[in-house]
């Protein structure tokens, strides 16, 4: 009787086990990194750094946390701006001085901004010499019929000095233009550099500790802690 009971129990056990179903709950996890720090360029400034660097080179680099680069671009822009203003004003002053010089030693009475006229004053000894040469080359369109444009240098040396002053004033104006070009180029380089930094920025970490919460289909939940160094 005892053996019969044991056999019945064993049969019942195996029968129940064969009919059992194994259930695997789907587990969804997420990861939270406590020590991971986002690179400054990943901050959500949008296009503000790019637009600002076109206005003031280096301002965009300052926004994303690159103070050394910002200082370089801003310094270049300040020096270029100062150079453009300084040489432009110096060139204009030299032009004014040369025209005052021409009024003293050539009898020029007009203050016209006609560049061709002042070139003629610097290239020819007097008004009549200029007219004779223009007639020889059959370029009568450049003749000045108004006697108010009359000039006559007292000496050849004075004319040459005036010519040198005019030439120097043009050189100063050219230098000023180079500084303006440097400002434009500085903005282009700063924009390209900033765009490259913002595009290629990455996370950098020395060690991380991860907290991974998980849930299952049976509404159970838990927390997995892992570390990577």
* Tokens 């180079």 -> residue: 178
Mean pLDDT in residue range 88-97: 95
pLDDT for the residue 42: 47
Q: What is the pLDDT averaged over residues 123-143? A: 80
d(CA 183, CA 16): 86
Residues 37 and 205 sit within 8 Å (Cβ to Cβ) = yes
Q: Report the first-to-last Cα separation within the chain, whole angstroms.
A: 65
pLDDT of residue 218: 55
pLDDT band at 33 (very low <50, low <70, confident <90, very high): very low
**Predicted local confidence at residue 212, as pLDDT:** 56
| 39-75 pLDDT per residue, tens | 444 455 677 888 888 899 998 888 888 889 899 999 9
Q: In which band, very low, low, confident or very high, does the pLDDT at 22 lie, cut at 50, 70 and 90?
A: very low
Does residue 134 contact residue 142 with C-beta atoms inside 8 Å?
A: yes
Which of these ranges, 8-22, 153-167, 211-225, has the smallest mean pLDDT? 8-22
Compute CA distances 113 → 95, 104, 110, 118, 216, whole Å: 10, 18, 9, 8, 86
- Per-residue model confidence (pLDDT) at position 132: 86
Band (pLDDT 50/70/90 cuts) for residue 216 is: low
pTM over 0.95: no
Percent of the chain past pLDDT 90, that is, above it, reads: 40
Q: How confident is the model at residue 32 (pLDDT cuts 50, 70, 90)?
A: very low
Pairwise pLDDT comparison (125 vs 113), residue with the higher score: 125
What pLDDT sits at residue 99?
A: 92
State mean pLDDT over 140-147.
72
Contact 40, 69 (CB under 8 A): no
């Amino acid at each position: 009787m005892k053996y019969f009971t044991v056999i019945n129990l064993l049969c019942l056990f195996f029968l129940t086990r064969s009919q059992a179903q194994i259930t695997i709950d789907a587990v969804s996890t997420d990861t939270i990194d406590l020590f991971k720090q986002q690179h400054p360029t990943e901050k959500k400034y949008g296009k503000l750094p790019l637009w600002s660097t076109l206005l003031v080179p280096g301002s965009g680099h300052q926004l994303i946390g690159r103070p050394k680069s910002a200082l370089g671009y801003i310094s270049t822009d300040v020096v270029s701006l100062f150079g453009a203003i300084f040489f432009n004003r110096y060139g204009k002053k030299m032009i004014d001085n040369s025209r005052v010089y021409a009024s003293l030693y050539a009898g020029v009475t007009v203050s016209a901004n006609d560049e061709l006229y002042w070139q003629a004053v610097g290239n020819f000894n007097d008004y009549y010499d200029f007219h004779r040469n223009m007639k020889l080359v059959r370029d009568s369109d450049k003749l000045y019929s108004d006697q108010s444009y009359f000039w006559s240098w007292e000496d050849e040396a004075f004319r040459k000095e005036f010519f040198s002053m005019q030439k120097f004033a043009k050189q100063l104006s050219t230098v000023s233009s180079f500084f303006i070009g440097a400002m434009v180029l500085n903005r282009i380089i700063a924009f390209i550099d900033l765009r490259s930094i913002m595009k290629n920025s990455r996370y950098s970490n020395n060690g991380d500790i991860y907290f991974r919460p998980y849930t299952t289909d049976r509404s159970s939940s838990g927390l997995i802690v892992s570390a990577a160094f």
